[in-house]
Structure 1
Amino acid sequence: MRRRSFLMSAAALLPVAGIDLEALAKTPGVSPSGQAHVVAAGKDCQDETHSRGYSTILFKVLPRETSNGLFVIEHVNLVKIGPPLHFHPHQEEYFYVIEGEVRFALGDKRLTLGAGDSVLGPRGIPHTFAAVEGKPGRMLIAFSPAGKMEQFLRDTAVPNPPVEDAEFWRKYEVELVGPSPFQA
């Protein structure tokens, strides 16, 4: 009962402390709905599936849920090919490997990560990824801020052919550098 009383008192002090709860709810990074949502394993938050030809992509957190602060996707059945070498001038990209092994080109580094490993792709650094031959990979990717990545993945999803045109990618605030070093 004491904890509940403390929380009620603390909440009552927010306006006194000059904290505008309505403004806080509109602040980037604060969920506009103020609601938590659960997305089940193997599911997309809108019961859709997306693909760029090298994996099935499930949307887990949409940009509109975080005032464009975050976009999270899951790659399922990632194969030994991946996107071309590219970079994001305005956002970081965080990769977390759930299953399998995934190769990364990140600037001049070449890494192979396994389940439980993660790496941050800083803005402005060219990068790409592909599963190691054998068992398909599975990983989470988070973009912060979300930028135009949701629309990019929708507009380049199969059955649309992959567009390897720098000007097209630039519309989505992604810079195409060249082919993946993993695709021989």
Structure 2
Amino acid sequence: MRFLGLDPGLRITGWGVIEAQDNRLQHVADGVVRSDERLSLAERLVQLHDGVRAIIAEFDPLEAAVEETFVNRNPASTLKLGQARGVVLLAPALCGLPVAEYQPSVVKKAVVGTGAAAKEQVGMMIRMLLPGATLETPDAADALAIAVCHAHNRAGSLALALARVRGRR
């Protein structure tokens, strides 16, 4: 099954695509969608939307996962991040993909083993888990980590559902 992980940001949105089969994960692609800071906010949001839609069209994931927003000290930055996150949630949903959301600490715990891991630790573990990952920026590493987290959580949810069904027989 193919998953798309998205790490939303107004300037740079990281993305990563993985293939999950049983408990094996394989890197497919990763990168970033950038918006032009010289454009209006609305035009930048269109760039993010179009970039995410292009990734979905090219790599054909079955599901997407997005990192939840944390609160900054700067309210204006938080608002802009929220708007970018809304577009990043909307684009896969408009393509008919189920979209899951994960807190940063849950993603870090799934990949590194601790919810307080540093960005460098996440990047290092992604390189180990997904050989061939290009990791153009830490945002791409985070996006792959989100995809890995989703693959693990989804596999656990499916196993639980299957156990429940078998228990009813």
Name which structure has the greater RCO, CA cutoff 8 Å, separation 6+.
2
Name the TM-score, length of structure 2 as normaliser: 0.27
TM-score normalised by length of structure 1: 0.26
Query: Whose radius of gyration is greater, 1 or 2?
Result: 1
Identify the structure with the greater helix proportion.
Answer: 2
Which structure is higher in strand share?
A: 1
